[in-house]
């Protein structure tokens, strides 16, 4: 299996690489070639420590085009989720203060690919300044927190966004389990 991991400047890259089984190709957004990615089984978009969708959109131009045009499954994490949201016409907004730590999310739309059902509550690790303000057309909200959408999915394409970090505090949270359920679905052939 071939995984493309786009490192958007996350401080959790080593943890994300440990979470992903097998070999992955790691690229920075500026190094994304203008070619097809059909030979990859999955694309994972990382979070970022310093960059934002709103203020660094030029930096993410190639990544945004990839999100909009590829048919390869995508999982976006934190900033990666925000890139998915804005690539499809949704919006994000800045929080008054940074959220960091374990937070409860409520499953509002059961999803077998993630291993969750309506009414489930999961704890995940949050670490961000931005939240989803408006979900794009053709996206379904699967989970919410007190701040808004936490897991979204495209209704016709294999694209999911996690506003949290499934790669962090895996011994204390359930984000990694949901990520791995989805990873397995996308990479089984």
The verdict on whether 81 is a catalytic residue reads no
Which residue is catalytic, options 24, 82, 150, 167?
167
**What is the distance between the alpha carbons of residues 104 and 146, in angstroms, rounded to a whole number?**
9
**What is the distance between the alpha carbons of residues 32 and 132, in angstroms, rounded to a whole number?**
25
Residues 6+ apart with CB under 8 A from 107: 116, 117, 118, 119, 120, 121, 122, 142, 143
Half-sphere exposure of 111 (CA within 13 A, CB side): 21
Which residue is catalytic, options 78, 81, 128, 150?
78
Which residue is catalytic, options 59, 63, 82, 165?
165
Cα-trace Rg, the chain: 15
The verdict on whether 167 is a catalytic residue reads yes
8 A C-beta contact, residue 85 and residue 130:
no
Query: What is the set of active-site residues?
Result: 78, 165, 167
């Amino acid at each position: 299996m071939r995984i493309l991991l786009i490192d958007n400047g996350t401080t959790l890259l080593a943890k994300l690489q440990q979470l992903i089984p097998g070999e992955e190709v790691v690229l920075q957004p500026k190094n994304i070639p203008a070619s097809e990615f059909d030979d990859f089984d999955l694309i994972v978009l990382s979070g970022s420590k310093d960059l934002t969708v709103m203020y660094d959109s030029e930096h993410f131009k190639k990544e945004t085009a990839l999100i909009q045009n590829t048919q390869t499954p995508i999982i976006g994490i934190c900033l990666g989720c925000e890139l998915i949201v804005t690539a499809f016409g949704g919006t994000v907004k800045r929080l008054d203060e940074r959220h960091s730590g374990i937070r409860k999310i409520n499953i509002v739309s059961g999803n077998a690919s993630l291993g969750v059902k309506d009414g489930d509550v999961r704890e995940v690790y949050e670490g961000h300044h931005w939240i989803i303000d408006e979900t794009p057309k053709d996206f379904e909200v699967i989970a919410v927190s007190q701040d808004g959408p936490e897991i979204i999915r495209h209704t016709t394409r294999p694209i999911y966004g996690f506003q949290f970090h499934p790669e962090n505090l895996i011994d204390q949270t359930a984000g990694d389990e949901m990520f791995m359920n989805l990873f397995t679905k996308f990479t089984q052939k």
